[in-house]
Structure 1
Amino acid sequence: MEFRQYKYVLKVAEEKSFSLAAKKLYISQPSLSQLIIKLEEKIGFPLFDRSASPLRLTYIGELYLETARQVLDLSDQFDKKVADVANLRLGRLTIGSSPFRSTYLLSQIIPAFGQKYPGIELILKEDTTRSLEELALNGETDFSLSLLPINTKAFDYEELFQEELLLALPPNHPLSLRYKRTPGDYHEPPRIRLKAVADTPFILMDQGQKLHDTLFSLCGKARFTPKILLETQSMNAAQALVGAGMGAALLPDTLIRASSIAKNPCYFSLSPTPTRTVIVAFAKGRYLSQAAREFIQLMKQVLQ
């Protein structure tokens, strides 16, 4: 009964509505409301402020929800340990990834893993890098693909590979014309200093992505403040906009090598060369299932 109560309260808190939660739980709203009322009577305090719109938790409700998440997470970790005993014949693996990594990295790994372990259910949660770290920290993913640096007090991690950040410029940019660059050619790009594009407006990744802060950090070291043309959540969109003649962008070479767009930018290496390390991150001390370990090992093999 307790586990069902925990799940019901969690769903009501997520949906901020008894009616929406009841639909998601496949029970009637009166039944759900009555169960919550009985639980509140048992506790002696209301869990939800019903005068608020949308519905919100009381302070006691927040404490209850925190406990519920911890209990359900412990139960989930127990289930994963049992699945290990079953020699990976059954189980579930939840992976956090950016849409970019899903398209250009996991699309190579997931089919191979599914063929080797057909009984393992794979769930892919996609979000920005910072949100993915939160998902891993809260136990909502078994691990998330992220980047160094990371809070080593909160996370354990394994390194996967390094990628270089290249400067993308429009084909009609003065530097593209001076160096006679061919749009889309990323092989042995000429090396320039970031200061050379101080007057060029940038297409910036939004604050949920580490590339956002990286641009400002690199520009700060080059002693100029970048002019921002627009912000986007999509590196593919930034790449396409630069190719169409709008501004500059910092892009990882892994995206550049894998993507295919109608109008390509011109690419340059930067001096000094900015690189970043792609990692698998999971909450410190959290049990990492055998399925998760097998998936990470498979990623390393494919990348090598």
Structure 2
Amino acid sequence: MQLRNIEYVLGIAETGSFSQAAKRLYISQPALSQAIQRLEDELGAKLFIRKNKETSLTRAGELFVEDAKKILMLSEQIRKKMDDIRNVKEGEISVGISQYNGQIYFSNILIKYKKLYPNIKITILEDFSSVLERKLAMGELDFALFTAPVGAGDFLCDHLFFEEILLATPRDHPVADALAPSPGRFGSVRLSWFRDDAFVLMKPGHRFRAVTDALFRQAGIAPPVVFESRSSNTIQSFITGGIGIGFITTTGQRNTPPQWQSAYYHLEDVDARREHVIAHNRDGYLSHAARAFIGLAKEICADQFAYSGDETSPS
């Protein structure tokens, strides 16, 4: 059995199609079918069922795929270890980022890392967190930058920084008149005060929605939700426009255009922050180049986000 045969099986299992797998693997469909037939003959078991243009795994195929993923990961680890032995200053790393993380801090890390290790090849994948987690679990990424909570997966996470979550309301919300003047830009409120207010939130399944739902549970409230979106910019504009109230991170607030700025408040009765982490597979091999990147990321984030209060922005 050869590694390319394992890659063929995984390609078909992931796409659910011989034709789609053939395109991904840069092989003709007849050649792919023949390779799978030879492998099935060698194993003495059918791996796939092809019916009505659909392809599914047999029970033997499911077991094969389960171990095949581990084999490919081990193969990749061996290659990375050999790269490390040849030269610590050379090699390659693969990193996953979300669009949000790419905007607020990743470029700072990347610029400094490339200066320190100019001969390290860096492959960057920007995608949804769910996709990055799947790639990380498969061993296709060395590490990925996430906002917690990290989903199901056998990952180790290194803390990067905490980011405060603010409550955002229209400027004419009655709470503004009820608060005493604050020495900072933002006053402080209790989330429990807003149990009857209408909220605009990220859609279920979005990582930030999981965080804000947890805030409601901490406050012991279940307020009405009048709108859900996949865009934080849309939510901010709806809050400013008086559709409802919602949440925004301190970074998001600083990057909001002046015309969409609303009123913002610290939340004093809940743990209103979310954690940024850099995660890697518990069973994966981290090269010296990868470890150097993680160490640099922690150092830069600790410096960039070491601020407190309303008046100070990160350096």
Name the TM-score class by shorter chain: 0.7 to 0.9
In structure 1, the partner of 2:306 is none
Shift of 1:72: 0.7
Distance 1:40 1:260, change over 3 A: farther
SS at match of 1:60: helix
Checking the alignment, whether the CA contact within 8 Å between 2:88 and 2:289 is kept in structure 1 is no
1:110-149 Cα offsets, whole Å, 9 max, x none, are: 2332343343122224213x55445434433222223456
Distance 1:83 1:180, change over 3 A: farther
Shift of 1:69: 1.0
- Alignment: residue pair count: 297
Aligned positions of 1:230-249 closer than 5 A:
230-249=227-246
Distance 1:206 1:7, change over 3 A: same
Checking the alignment, whether the CA contact within 8 Å between 1:126 and 1:132 is kept in structure 2 is yes
Shift of 1:30: 0.8
The worse-fitting range, judged by mean Cα deviation, of 2-11 and 116-125 is 116-125
What is the identity, as a one-letter code, of the residue corresponding to 2:121? I
Distance 1:18 1:84, change over 3 A: same
- 1:279 matched to 2:280? The reply is no
In structure 2, the partner of 1:124 is 125
1:148-195 Cα offsets, whole Å, 9 max, x none, are: 5669993322211111111111234333576699xxxxx631001112
> How far apart, in 1, do the equivalents of 2:231 and 2:157 lie?
25
Aligned positions of 1:135-214 closer than 5 A:
135-147=135-147, 154-176=154-176, 188-214=185-211
In structure 1, the partner of 2:251 is 254
1:70-98 Cα offsets, whole Å, 9 max, x none, are: 1110111112222222223222x222332
Q: Which runs of 5+ in 1 are unaligned?
A: 182-186
Checking the alignment, whether the CA contact within 8 Å between 1:242 and 1:249 is kept in structure 2 is yes
Distance 1:284 1:24, change over 3 A: closer
- 1:90 matched to 2:91? The reply is yes
What is the identity, as a one-letter code, of the residue corresponding to 2:45? F
> How far apart, in 1, do the equivalents of 2:193 and 2:123 lie?
46
1:208-228 Cα offsets, whole Å, 9 max, x none, are: 344323323322333321211
Distance 1:221 1:4, change over 3 A: closer
When normalised by structure 1's length, the TM-score is 0.85
In structure 2, the partner of 1:76 is 76
> How far apart, in 2, do the equivalents of 1:31 and 1:152 lie?
36
Checking the alignment, whether the CA contact within 8 Å between 1:95 and 1:142 is kept in structure 2 is yes
Shift of 1:19: 1.4
In structure 2, the partner of 1:297 is 295
In structure 1, the partner of 2:6 is 6
Distance 1:121 1:201, change over 3 A: same
Provide the aligned C-alpha RMSD in A: 2.8
Shift of 1:258: 3.8
> How far apart, in 2, do the equivalents of 1:28 and 1:152 lie?
36
SS at match of 1:279: strand
What is the identity, as a one-letter code, of the residue corresponding to 1:122? T
Distance 1:23 1:277, change over 3 A: closer
Checking the alignment, whether the CA contact within 8 Å between 1:100 and 1:255 is kept in structure 2 is no
The worse-fitting range, judged by mean Cα deviation, of 59-68 and 229-238 is 229-238
Checking the alignment, whether the CA contact within 8 Å between 1:156 and 1:282 is kept in structure 2 is yes
> How far apart, in 2, do the equivalents of 1:230 and 1:199 lie?
15
1:209-256 Cα offsets, whole Å, 9 max, x none, are: 443233233223333212112333333432333234332222221232
> How far apart, in 2, do the equivalents of 1:176 and 1:95 lie?
44
In structure 2, the partner of 1:184 is none
Checking the alignment, whether the CA contact within 8 Å between 2:133 and 2:153 is kept in structure 1 is no
What is the identity, as a one-letter code, of the residue corresponding to 2:297? M
